[in-house]
Amino acid sequence: MESPVGRALLRLAGVSLVAVAVVGLVAPRPVNVEHRWQVVVPVTLGLVLLAAVVRVPAWAKRRWVPVVIAIGGGLVATLVGLMTRYRYGWDARIVMDMARSLQAGRRLSQGEYDYLSLYPNNLPLLAIDRMGVAVGQAFSLAPDAVLIPLNGICVGLTLYAVHDLVGRVAGRGPSLGAQLATLVLVGTSPWLAVPYTDFYAMPFVVGGVALAVRAMTPRPRTGRVVLWLLAIVSVTVAYSIKTTPVVIAIAAVLTAVVAIFDHDLLPARRAGVIAACAASALAFVVLGVGLGAAATAASGVDSARIDTAVSPPILWWVALGADEQHSPTGVVSYGAFSREMVDAVTGRSQAEMKTYAAGAFADRWAERGLGGTLAFYGSKAAWNWGDGMFWAWGEGPDSLPGTLAPATGVTGIVHDLNGFHGSGYQLRADVTQAVWLAVLLVAGVGLLRAPYRRETLLVAASLLGIAAFTLVLQGRSRYLFAFVPLVVVLAAMVHAWLPRPRRAGRLGRRTG
């Protein structure tokens, strides 16, 4: 059934993705790698052409292939992460050092509790890191030697969830392409060497959407209810690990509400769907609170010393998202981390923080005006979405020379390709950027032509949600990383609607 609202949301997502992809091709916003247009542009266009005309051979659609790719991809990711190991900085190091202290029986300092009071969302990461430290001690391993393979396991689970999600909507051919694209963008990333929330949340992000799509498939009511409940659990776990997956919960409710108008439902049936949405939201909140409490307990901290009253209010995050930072080299960061704004609210009450945030936002508005504000947020969207390396090596001191130890053999090759100062990193970043922009173009153009489907709307609405989240609040391309597989999924779902030669079009929309 057609839905004007659903179709409009798909077109909005399509226009948005095409816009950021085109800007990324013709006027990219500088990130921490300066891409070469003479490599990025032709490779991007070539990949889009391949997506439009290439068909997957029959042998590659056998049932065992997705499983092999998922397992093999997880192993590749683990090896890449282990060979790229380095002493990372920023929040990942702060939390890891706290985990080591707690596991050793030492008490955290007041400064560390001040950090957790400011960023209580890192308590689940602390619990995971402490588990990694404990397992490492049991087997005489460093924590990273435990947690990097966990990253690899998350990649493998994500790859299989990508197959399940795409295969259910578009067939085995597109699902294979989606798995391979996800492996390139996520399963070989330098981020694999860093134990952080992006990888831990990723399989629950994609798995939650895959379970929700299964629940939308015609089947006995009991099965649909069970699948929907499992989807709620998966998304809630993702949200407990990382804040951004909350947008999937919102997208799921939005998709369900739009679906009410797919058919001529009786008022009682519509009321039932709305009640189910309300119950789902309540379950999400209750389970989220429970998981948060469990993570705090598992982390081993003294919860009485964590003062959430010093955590900045939402208005401060909006003001931070409207800030603009300039590096010594002239690179502009749009709404990223600002030490100045953090220091400005340290030690202040909630009321004082809100007053400061309102003033800071008003100052930005006065400086820019309406036109300048729109230009800022347009540049921020292009900056957030225009980085196929997703801010790799961009946090803290990670990009400094000497971060990776000298190496030979296969490890040396990985360092050359994945190390920020590696001899092959520029080409690797350019090609990866082209893959990412091609995925954005395929997804965007496909959405402009594809018919409304609830499954497609759920994924598109989730991406609109993370786009809005990173646009209004603090952002940068790393905040999209856990959602990258969903962007690939969306491209695979709608790639059959790309314009193509007439002969290829006669082969059918679902042949892949």
pLDDT of residue 187 exceeding 50, the answer is yes
Position 309 scores a pLDDT of 85
Last residue of a domain, one of 353, 378, 403: 378
Q: Using pLDDT thresholds of 50, 70 and 90, give the confidence band for residue 511.
A: very low
352 and 404 together in one domain: no
pLDDT of residue 416 exceeding 50, the answer is yes
Q: How many CA atoms lie within 13 A of 444 on its CB side?
A: 16
Q: What angle do CA 244, 247, 249 make, to 5 degrees?
A: 120
* Choice among 96-110, 187-201, 319-333, 370-384 with the minimum mean pLDDT: 319-333
Q: Using pLDDT thresholds of 50, 70 and 90, give the confidence band for residue 146.
A: very high
When the pLDDT of each residue in the chain is averaged and rounded to a whole number, the result is 93
| Token pair in block for residue 511 | 């042949």
Position 262 scores a pLDDT of 66
Contact status, residue 160 vs residue 210, Cβ threshold 8 Å: no
The domain tally of the chain equals 2
Tens of pLDDT, residue by residue over 433-461, are 999 999 999 999 999 999 999 999 999 99
Cα separations in angstroms, 435 against 185, 251, 268, 388, 479: 8, 26, 47, 8, 19
Position 512 scores a pLDDT of 46
pLDDT of residue 189 exceeding 60, the answer is yes
- How far is 246 from 201, CA to CA, in rounded Å? 12
Per 3-state DSSP, what percentage of the chain is helix, strand, and coil (rounded to 5)?
75, 0, 25
Question: Other CB atoms closer than 10 Å to residue 39's CB: what's the count?
Answer: 16
Range of the domain at 353: 312-378
Position 507 scores a pLDDT of 42
Flag whether 482 is in a domain: yes
- Arithmetic mean of pLDDT, 35-62: 92
pTM of the model: 0.94
Residue with tokens 């609170």: 289
Q: Using pLDDT thresholds of 50, 70 and 90, give the confidence band for residue 302.
A: very high
397 and 481 together in one domain: yes
Helix (H) / strand (E) element for 373: namely helix 350-385
Position 503 scores a pLDDT of 52
404 and 477 together in one domain: yes
Task: Check residues 288 and 266 and name the one with the higher pLDDT.
Answer: 288
Last residue of a domain, one of 378, 406, 425: 378
Question: Other CB atoms closer than 10 Å to residue 482's CB: what's the count?
Answer: 28
pLDDT of residue 215 exceeding 60, the answer is yes
86 and 224 together in one domain: yes
- How far is 151 from 88, CA to CA, in rounded Å? 15
Contact status, residue 511 vs residue 171, Cβ threshold 8 Å: yes
23 and 96 together in one domain: yes
191 and 272 together in one domain: yes
60 and 143 together in one domain: yes
Task: Check residues 262 and 369 and name the one with the higher pLDDT.
Answer: 369
Tens of pLDDT, residue by residue over 237-275, are 999 999 999 999 999 999 988 888 766 667 777 888 889
- Arithmetic mean of pLDDT, 481-503: 91
Cα separations in angstroms, 466 against 166, 308, 318, 438, 441: 20, 25, 15, 20, 18
Flag whether 54 is in a domain: yes
Position 489 scores a pLDDT of 98
Please report the sign of the dihedral spanned by the C-alpha atoms of residue 425, residue 426, residue 430, residue 433: positive
447 and 482 together in one domain: yes
* Choice among 253-267, 355-369, 481-495 with the minimum mean pLDDT: 253-267
Q: Which SS3 state, helix, strand or coil, does residue 398 take?
A: coil
Tens of pLDDT, residue by residue over 91-130, are 999 999 999 999 999 999 999 999 999 999 999 999 999 9
DSSP lists the bridge partners of residue 325 as 333
450 and 371 together in one domain: no
372 and 424 together in one domain: no
324 and 229 together in one domain: no
Task: Check residues 502 and 303 and name the one with the higher pLDDT.
Answer: 303
Cα separations in angstroms, 192 against 80, 126, 144, 162, 204: 7, 18, 10, 19, 17
Last residue of a domain, one of 378, 408, 431: 378
Question: Other CB atoms closer than 10 Å to residue 265's CB: what's the count?
Answer: 14
pLDDT of residue 428 exceeding 70, the answer is yes
